[in-house]
Amino acid sequence: MNHPPDTVRAVEWRGSALRLLDQRLLPRHQEFLELDRPAAVAAAIRDMVVRGAPAIGVAAAYAVVLAARRAWQRSPAGWRGEMERDLELLAAARPTAVNLCWALKRMEAVADRAEGDPGGVLLEEARRIHAEDVDANRRMGELGAALIEERCAVLTHCNTGSLATGGFGTALGVIRTAYAAGRIGHVYAGETRPWLQGARLTAWELVQDGIPVTLLADGAAAWLMRQGGIGWVVVGADRIAANGDVANKIGTYSTAVSARHHGVKFMVVAPTSTIDPLTPDGSSIPIEQRPGRELLELGGEPVAAQGAAAWNPSFDVTPASLIDAIVTERGVVLNPATRGVAELIAEG
């Protein structure tokens, strides 16, 4: 199948450093950071330079390469123990995105088998993780687009494109593929407060690729569905529990509730690395609490009354009962409330 192009790459390995597109500055500025220390990558993950569960996993994999190289230089005999502190920093950077720990565990397994200088074999594994993510995204694009049987408009929330992955995108990969096939006529993107990933990132990506996009305030999604014409809500995920409950960017749950009320189909698109078989259901998913200033300030300027408090969870949990389809690179689960995701886990 001929895939539509995606013009953005947010995570790249350049020689001896990791190159990250600083997503905090988009869409006004396109600035890349070159990081050669694992602690700097951990800070970049924590501070939202790079975000999106798959992209975080890819960045973490390359950070392990940096950690191993530094550890080998300090102590060729004890390099494995030397890198533990760096691994702990990386693991703690974003607790909800399961791809982070998944990538670290996979890289650690390679490190445990390494003989001599580990830099080469670890870089090879990180590049493999990166390439696998892009391939998985393209496969998910095909599978998800096939579910959109009649031409319609779609609604998406947060950013799930090339910026959030190794390339092409999860939910946005489905949208790209379906648009190229003539199954999507228009995309509506929620602004995604407080970091405005929809306004700054998703709208920017779609404009780059020539896909018509209309931005809306998060609170307008239900009223948009009431007008008719929205066939699907297509979103990504940061963690999927074994029963099919999904943690995603805050605002996803309310969008799912509105979709069910208005008869709009709801699709979650994520690689199997996002599935956490050790988490039985959504109540067990840790939800990251972000600093209150993200709500109380805008561009460093206060927007709330002095003395007001803020509750700022970065994610919410959408129960499987509100999801019509979970799309992964290994296949599609329809009505996950009755089936869970066990079969996809078993295939691994």
Q: Which fold has domain 141-347?
A: Rossmann fold (3.40.50)
pLDDT of residue 7: 67
Judge whether residue 312 has pLDDT over 60: yes
Q: What is the pLDDT of residue 348?
A: 54
Given this model, what pLDDT does residue 6 score? 63
Could you tell me the pLDDT band of residue 80, with boundaries at 50, 70 and 90?
Answer: very high
Q: Please check the confidence at residue 45 and state whether its pLDDT lies above 90.
A: yes
Per-residue model confidence (pLDDT) at position 298: 87
Q: Are 215 and 203 in contact (CB under 8 A)?
A: yes
Give the whole-angstrom CA distance, residue 170 versus residue 151. Answer: 20
Q: pLDDT by residue (tens digit) across 212-269?
A: 999 999 999 999 999 999 999 999 999 999 999 999 999 999 999 999 999 999 999 9
322 pLDDT tier (thresholds 50, 70, 90): very high
Residue with tokens 């979103």: 235
Per-residue DSSP letter, 250? T
Angle at alpha carbon of residue 99, lines to 314 and 121, rounded to 5°:
145
- Per-residue pLDDT band for 338 (boundaries 50, 70, 90) equals confident
Q: Where are the domains of the chain?
A: 11-134, 141-347
**What CATH topology corresponds to 11-134?**
Four Helix Bundle (Hemerythrin (Met), subunit A) (1.20.120)
Q: Has residue 5 got a pLDDT over 80?
A: no
pLDDT at 134 over 80: yes
Q: Is the pLDDT of residue 347 over 80?
A: no
- Predicted confidence at residue 97, as pLDDT, reads 74
What integer best gives the mean pLDDT of the chain? 94
Between 324 and 338, name the one with better pLDDT: 324
Q: Mean of the pLDDT values across residues 72-80?
A: 93
- Measured distance CA(169)–CA(164) in Å, rounded: 7
Q: Which residues are catalytic?
A: 238
Q: What is the DSSP string of 91-125?
A: HTS-SS-HHHHHHHHHHHHHHHH--S--HHHHHHH
Give the containing element (helix H, strand E) for 84: helix 84-91
**Residue 53: predicted pLDDT:** 87
The residue ranges of DSSP E strands in the chain, in sequence order, are 11-14, 17-21, 32-35, 152-156, 184-190, 213-216, 230-235, 239-241, 246-249, 265-269, 275-276, 297-298, 301-302, 315-318, 325-328, 331-334
